[in-house]
A and B are shown apart, each in its own frame.
Chain A
């Protein structure tokens, strides 16, 4: 998997799935839902985020409901990866299932908003070129990489169903 490079959008602890995918927009198309993604904590996020940018967050990112729109809103906006001190469990699984790398980064608090970061999700190496600093975190495990490399759960299921047919 190639290196992910982008600016950091920094969030605190306990950012929940309701603020990523507000219930008020459940019936709206994803493009509209995504425009309101995280607005309760950062009203400018959806407007400013560029493809490849990274979310860097504190503890328990994605705590809350099973709504997959939370992870989908981030991929819709082009978020390249999420680095957090820890994750809500369903959000973590959903993110990987949509091919959005999510890595546990205990040093997330050292990152400042707007820092440019480079991430290799397999080796877990995070670099901040401006200061020359780097950190190594646990890369994504092999059993998950197979699915992420297939492009997420759906492409992986397709491969599996095709295999069963032959």
Chain B
């Protein structure tokens, strides 16, 4: 019997020919992503306690994104400690205030198909868009990774989701992700979600990253998309030559999947997740009377260049409604620069939007754009848990960048298809 893509990657990382679901393997880590949030500030004291250093500085990627830019002395101290850690251990892949870590990995071309990677953040699953197995772990386990270069994994089952057909205009990967949160629920522990089918093949890696990012909301071990020419082109665009065997990393035809489901993209309409759960999603018209105060474009999942292009497409020649505000936090310096160069930022700011610094920002209530009691926000982020973006009573709706931008113009939750030619 054959193996799925993730079984193959895990077997390879464990140095054995085959891996079967349920088996517990000790895997060698190809790349470890550390962020300012759960990285050096949690790991360094433990390294001191253990009297040891890092296993391989060149396999560690370190980014500051959660506490950037510093808003008070405490966040400044966390950033300072993170910089000192990079210097102390000679971490060359240190990106200080250059953007959100998950997006930087892609921009820098640091992920190759077939890799086994770990990140100290739940949305590390985003890396799976490059055909690698990348999952999120807590800081305590990342300490173990940083010390030993190894981690134990119970081989997950694979669920394959195939999307066929073409999206209608105004429907994007985020709508698939929100639809799946309702369809599959948030309790898919011990499973890898493998996304495929012609709709996914037609997506850029940036859109595929939306799917793998929100495998975290499905509660999955991680998400993955097998590499193809799109993946290789993205690596080359980032200035990296793909590994020779990159396209060989795919599941066998006779692999055993826990479940295989087929969906049609043609039928999908824009989705909105109502408070306080991504699984509380439905078609956009289920919420279309809801007035909004804040519209937020931000986060790893929802403020890439492709996302800002969607926003500009809606905003071109329009204004943010009186009584509403649109906050836009591009996900990296490169996104900011590209959006400035191609006119996207000009279009967005001409509509009256407020451009925020790059970083996690309001997504986790750590930066600018936090919500007051009872405020209503529509957001391109991935989580709308109670209190996540500010006050416990704040009401956060999740949607695609198209829908967030359309809602900012309408002053209420709106169907973006009304604003697109």
A residues contacting B by CB (< 8 A) are: 14, 16, 18-19, 22-24, 26-27, 40, 59-60, 63-68, 71, 86-90, 92-94, 97-98, 141, 143, 152-154, 157-158, 160-161
Contact = CB atoms under 8 A, between A and B. Distances in A.
B141 A161 contact: no
A60 B186 contact: yes
A60 B140 contact: no
Given A154-B50, A161-B52, A86 B121 contact: no
Interface in B171-218: 186-187, 189-190
A26 B366 contact: yes
28 contacts: A14-B277, A18-B383, A18-B385, A18-B386, A22-B387, A23-B387, A24-B387, A27-B72, A27-B74, A40-B387, A59-B187, A60-B186, A63-B186, A66-B120, A66-B122, A67-B138, A68-B38, A68-B138, A88-B189, A93-B141, A94-B138, A97-B141, A154-B46, A154-B140, A157-B50, A157-B143, A157-B144, A161-B50
A89 B38 contact: no
B265 interface: no
A67 B38 contact: yes
Nearest to A94: B138
B219 interface: yes
A153 B187 CA distance: 26
Given A18-B387, A88-B189, A23 B366 contact: yes
B138 A90 contact: yes
Report the 4 A-B pairs with minimum CB-CB distance, sorted nearest first: A94-B138, A68-B138, A23-B365, A27-B74
Nearest to B73: A27
B42 interface: yes
A14 B364 CA distance: 18
A66 B49 contact: no
A152 B50 CA distance: 14
Contacts of B388: 18, 23
Interface in B309-353: none
B232 to A, nearest CB: 30
B80 interface: no
Interface residues of B, number: 45
Contact of A97 (B140, B186, B189): B140
Nearest to A65: B122
B141 A94 contact: yes
B187 A63 contact: yes
Contacts of B219: 60, 63, 88-89
A97 B143 CA distance: 11
B190 A160 contact: no
B161 interface: no
B137 interface: yes
B190 A89 contact: yes
Nearest to B393: A40
Contact of B386 (A19, A68, A93): A19
A153 B144 contact: yes
B396 to A, nearest CB: 11
Interface in B343-380: 364-366
Nearest to B151: A93
B387 A19 contact: yes
A68 B139 contact: yes
A55 B187 CA distance: 19
B140 A94 contact: yes
Contact of A143 (B24, B147, B186, B385): B24
A161 B51 CA distance: 9
A6 B64 CA distance: 42
B263 interface: no
B65 interface: no
B370 to A, nearest CB: 9
Nearest to A142: B24
A40 B386 contact: yes
Contacts of A94: 138, 140-141
Interface string B25-63: 000000000000110001000100111100000000000
A154 B143 contact: yes
A95 to B, nearest CB: 9
A153 B38 CA distance: 16
B221 A89 contact: yes
B152 interface: yes
Interface string B97-129: 000000000000000000000001110100000
B392 interface: yes
Contacts of A98: 140
Contacts of A63: 186-187, 219
B148 interface: yes
B140 A68 contact: yes
